[in-house]
Amino acid sequence: MLKIIAGLVCFLIILFSPVGYNIITGRTYYVPMLKVPQGDCVESTVYMRKRHMEVLERWRNAYVRDGIKRYISINGIYRIGLTGTCLKCHSNKAEFCDRCHDYGGIKPKCWDCHHIPEVKAEK
């Protein structure tokens, strides 16, 4: 009986150790810190955080299949293109794209066709 109780206590300690770690450190979750550029994006920050892949897929389909080269949003009119639009502001792939994609375990196929941007020196 003593072995069963000791086993249950060990099991519960292992089971609840992440909760204890969060209480000790004061962090209940991890959110990757992004280096976000100043200025307007093609859509709001909240929208882009949740739906940037949908925007990129719509852009791809509109540009490649339909020949549409402009994107009209509430923030203005933008030229459709990953390199000329997105990467103009989000030029450091390691500090922007990779942090969230690594956190989420996502392997985007953008870089199969598009070149990986070089890191621009900070001024």
pLDDT in tens, 90-106: 888 888 888 888 888 88
pTM: 0.65
Nearest to 76, CA basis, from 103, 100, 44, 52: 44
- 29-44 pLDDT, tens digit per residue, is 777 888 777 777 899 8
Residue 120 is predicted with a pLDDT of 57
Tell me what percent of the residues of the chain surpass a pLDDT of 70.
92
**CA–CA distance, 70 with 78 (Å, rounded to integer):** 6
Looking at residue 68, its amino acid is I
**CA–CA distance, 49 with 35 (Å, rounded to integer):** 13
**CA–CA distance, 108 with 45 (Å, rounded to integer):** 20
- 51-80 pLDDT, tens digit per residue, is 999 999 999 999 999 999 999 988 889 999
